[in-house]
Amino acid sequence: MFLSTASVPRVASRLSRPIGFGESLRRANHTQSPRVAVLFQAIDPPIIGGVRKPRKPGGYQDSGADIAYTLQSKGIRSITPKPSPQLEVDQGWCFADTEEGIESALSKGATHLWANTILFNAHPLQSSQKLSRHASEVYVVGQPPALVENFDDKAYLNGKLGQLGGFTLPKSWLASDTATLENCLSSISRYPVVGKPVRGRGSHGVKVCHDPVGLKDHVQKLLQESPLVMIEEYLPGEEATITVMPPSPEVSEYWSMPPVARFNHADGIAPYNGVVAVSSNSRVVTESEMKDPAYHKIMDECVRVAKLIKATAPIRVDVRRFCEGSEFALFDINMKPNMTGPGRPGRESQASLTAIAAAALGWDYGTLLKQILATAQPLASFRSYRSPF
């Protein structure tokens, strides 16, 4: 199932009200409204396959504060470490994602944990024995740690999609040392290409390389921080990003939000949102543009990716055309979309790409957060995830 902008009025009328809270809480044996504690990244991700994903400065406390404040302003109780966090300050709204931080949130009465952090198999949400006694009664918003650990690896996921077939992907190569890099260089017949880490964050380490010398220099630098580097053909056509929502109590299927077009790239790459607000270089694709079947084809592929990996929270897929007017290819599948949004003072321009897409459905940022909250699952289910591969 996917949504075009032509179907937005029907879908918005069906989905724009707060959904799922009554059913979710009945299943959780609660009679009161959700009490949400947002978790931020206080734990450095481990080295996985020789690669450590870069940690975001601040640990996503900016978006965490946006989430906690906005839910509170929409009538959903936010449990916070401090009784009255300052609106202009990111700190004080969220709990550390350590075992102690999570236990503190639960001791304050949290029924729902919003995992606004990077997860992995050894994360306390997955592995803590102390949290096991809460496994059937506490709900989690986010992707299962085992899912994230597997599919944050761009080379692994793209490889699986390529093996399955039916997904449009750019040509790619992998370099792990001098010998494999030389093999890549001899195999690449057309430039530019893009070099990037297999476990990246934002635009970290992503660079368009215009010749073998530039590519070799960039990949050698990346190999100093990662034992595996991905090289992809550069797609010069239009870029867009597509958010796929998971099933919820009211919508039983995966479905796609409207595509958001990206523009004003820096050296061929969309700049990191911490440097340039996405609201200044992104817009929802228009109804007229949606008549192009290429949008619907790639939206369907994005939905199939989410369904295949059994995503339990929104994923965001970045896509590009091979050239003007061509079909799109999937080039970056993000397990944790940025979730910043307006609400707190000074955050007016901080709508995330997902929030921009949601606005086309008639949802403000708070309504989007309520929709995501409705996809929360019991910690026991969260921990029982099994990879399809």
Residue 56 has what pLDDT?
A: 85
Residue 273 has what pLDDT?
A: 62
Residue 18 has what pLDDT?
A: 34
Segment 316-320 mean pLDDT:
97
State the Cα–Cα distance between residues 222 and 148, nearest whole angstrom. Answer: 22
Residue type, 348: E
Tell me the three state secondary structure of residue 163: helix
Q: How many CB atoms lie within 10 A of CB 73?
A: 13
- Nearest one of 114, 118, 143 to 368, comparing CA atoms: 114
Q: 375 near 302, Cβ under 8 Å?
A: no
Tell me the three state secondary structure of residue 20: coil
In sequence order, what are the beta bridge partners of 230? 174, 196
pLDDT averaged over the chain? 89
How long, in residues, is the chain? Answer: 389
- Nearest one of 284, 236, 237 to 256, comparing CA atoms: 284
- Lowest mean pLDDT of 152-156, 263-267, 334-338, name the range: 263-267
Percentage of the chain beyond pLDDT 90 is 79
Residue 238 has what pLDDT?
A: 95
Q: 256 near 317, Cβ under 8 Å?
A: no
Tell me the three state secondary structure of residue 119: coil
Residue 211 has what pLDDT?
A: 97
Tell me the three state secondary structure of residue 304: helix
Record the tokens describing residue 205, joined without a space. Answer: 């380490």
Angle at Cα 230 formed by Cα 227 and Cα 231, nearest 5°? Answer: 135
Does the pLDDT at position 367 exceed 70?
A: yes
Residue 20 has what pLDDT?
A: 39
pLDDT, greater one: 4 or 316: 316
Identify the band that residue 12 occupies on the pLDDT scale cut at 50, 70 and 90.
very low
Segment 33-57 mean pLDDT:
89
Residue 275 has what pLDDT?
A: 62
State the Cα–Cα distance between residues 181 and 11, nearest whole angstrom. Answer: 48
Residue 91 has what pLDDT?
A: 97
Residue 7 has what pLDDT?
A: 39
Identify the band that residue 150 occupies on the pLDDT scale cut at 50, 70 and 90.
very high
Residue 264 has what pLDDT?
A: 83
Residue 26 has what pLDDT?
A: 40
- pLDDT tens-digit map of 224-276: 888 899 999 999 999 999 999 999 988 999 999 999 999 987 777 776 666 67
- pLDDT tens-digit map of 202-222: 677 899 999 999 999 999 999
Residue 202 has what pLDDT?
A: 67
- pLDDT tens-digit map of 51-79: 778 788 899 999 999 999 999 999 999 99
